[in-house]
Structure 1
Amino acid sequence: MISLEGAGLTYPGPPAVTALLPCDLEVHQGDFVTVVGPSGSGKSTFLNIVGLLDSPTQGRYRLSGVDTGQLGDATRSALRGRRIGFVFQAFHLLPHRTAAENVQLALVYRRVARRERADRARELLARVGLGHRADALPTTLSGGERQRVAIARALVGTPSVLLCDEPTGNLDTATSEQVLGLLEELNSDGVTIVVITHDPSVAARGTRTLSIRDGVLTEPQARRGHV
C-alpha cells in the first residue's frame, strides 16, 4: 500500500533543513499504524509525503504500486483524491452547510451526480453513527460528532488509506475513545489507517507504532500485524 525506499525530504536553504532523513517503510493493506514524536520531529513532513502533499527530495515513494515521483502535478492530485482520505485535528467543516452537505463536498470536483452524492453522504454518515444528524449544522453538533462528519467526508471517495493528524487533539477523553473506537471499526472493515499523534494512549491503539525524532523514522516495537 505505502512503500518508502530511502525517502527523505530536505528543504532548500540557505541553510538547507533536513526535515526527514532517508527512511524505508512498508505499510500493508489493513494496517493500523500510529506515528509518535515530539513537536518539530518530522511527523508533519512524513504525513505530507505519504499524503502526496510534498514530494521526497531523496528516494522513492510508491502508493499502491505507483511510483509517485514519476507523476506530474495534475496526476498526483488525481491520485491523492482517489486513494487518500484526510482527517485533521481541526474539523474544517463549513458552518452554513449541513453534515450531509459537508460530506458531499468531497465528491463535487469528481463530477459525481447530485443524487448519487447525496445518497453516498447519507450512507457514510450512517456508517459513522450519524445517520440521524445528516441534516444538522456543524454548530449544533458536539466535537465528537463533528469529527465523525470529518471522517465520513474522508471516506466518501472510498480511499485506500485514511491519514489522521491528531484526530483526537480537540476532544475530551470520553469522546476521544468514541472516535478511536470508530477508527478501529473501520480498520476491521479493511481500511488502512495512519494516525499521527503525540499521545501515547492513542498510539497504543494501532497494530504498529512508528517513532520520529529529529527526522529519524524508526519502528521500536511491532505488536501485531505486518513488520
Structure 2
Amino acid sequence: MSAVIAMRGVGLTYPGPPPVAALHPVDLTVEQGQYVTVVGPSGSGKSTFLNVAGLLDRPTEGVFELDDIDVGGLRERERTALRGARIGFVFQSFHLLAFRTATENVALAQLYSGVPRAVRLAAARAALERVGLAHRADALPATMSGGERQRVAIARALVHRPSLLLCDEPTGNLDTTTAHAVLELLDNLHSDGMTLIVITHDPNVAIRGQRTVTIRDGHLYE
C-alpha cells in the first residue's frame, strides 16, 4: 500500500515574539485505507496538526508528502488545488447553508471544479445515497436532525472522491445514539477503503480507529 500522508520531522512554530512551538517535529505515516484517531486534551496541538495535515497551514520545518507529492515547494494556488482534490473535511459544526437543499449543499463542494451543474448535482445525489440520505436529498438543513446534517457534511466531503477524509470532532454536537450512527458510517467508509484521520477528545471515538496517536503539548506519541 502507498502512503497517503508521510510526515518527516514536520513541525510548526509561530514567530512571536516569543516564538511558540505549536507542533514539535512529527514523524507519521498513514497508509492508504488506514483509520487513525488523534487524541489529546484541549490546547494540546490537535488543531495545529489538523491544519497542517489538511494543507491549511504550512509547516515551518520538515518534509510533508500527500499522495507522494511533496507539498513543501508548492505555491499557494497549487496547495489549494491539491487540498480540494485530495482531502475531504468534516467538522463538528456542520457548516451547511441554511437555504440550500442537501443536494445543493453537497454540490457546492465542486462549484469551482469546472464540472457542469447537472453533473455536480448527480454526483451530490450519489454521495447522499452513499451516506444513507437519498430520501432527504431535497430537504433543508433546518428540517434535519443533527445526525442527518452531519451525514450531509460527510457526503459533501466525499463528493469529489478524496484520498483522505479528515474529521475534526465529527460527533461533538451529537447525542450518544446519533453519534453512534455517524461512527458506524465512518466504519463503513473505512471498510470500503477510505483513509480516515479523526481528531477527537472522546475515548469512545478514539477506539474505533486501527491506530491511535496522542498529542500532548505539541508532541505526538504513538
Question: What is the TM-score when the length of structure 1 is the normalising length?
Answer: 0.96
Q: How many residues align?
A: 219
Name the counterpart of 1:53.
Answer: 56
Name the counterpart of 1:64.
Answer: 67
Q: Partners of 1:108 and 1:216 in 2: how far apart?
A: 37
Listed one character per residue, the Cα deviations across residues 103-159 of structure 1 (whole Å, up to 9, x for unaligned) are 000011101111111111111101100000000000000000000000000000110
- For 1:169, the aligned partner's letter is G
Q: RMSD of the alignment, in Å?
A: 0.4
Pairing of 1:48-127 with structure 2 (within 5 A): 48-127=51-130
Name the counterpart of 2:32.
Answer: 29
Name the counterpart of 1:132.
Answer: 135
Deviation at 1:42, TM superposition (A): 0.4
- For 1:156, the aligned partner's letter is V
Q: Percent identity?
A: 67
Q: Partners of 1:58 and 1:200 in 2: how far apart?
A: 31
Listed one character per residue, the Cα deviations across residues 9-64 of structure 1 (whole Å, up to 9, x for unaligned) are 00011011100000100000000000000000000000001100011101110001
Look up the SS of the partner of 1:100 in the other structure.
helix
- For 2:62, the aligned partner's letter is G
Give the alignment partner of residue 191 of structure 1, picking from 194, 202, 220.
194
Q: Partners of 2:98 and 2:46 in 1: how far apart?
A: 29
Are 1:149 and 2:152 matched, yes or no? Answer: yes
Pairing of 1:6-17 with structure 2 (within 5 A): 6-17=9-20
Unaligned 5+ segments in structure 2 are: none
Look up the SS of the partner of 2:72 in the other structure.
helix
Name the counterpart of 1:222.
Answer: none
Unaligned 5+ segments in structure 1 are: 220-227
Look up the SS of the partner of 1:69 in the other structure.
coil
Q: Partners of 1:44 and 1:87 in 2: how far apart?
A: 13
Name the counterpart of 2:211.
Answer: 208
Name the counterpart of 1:19.
Answer: 22
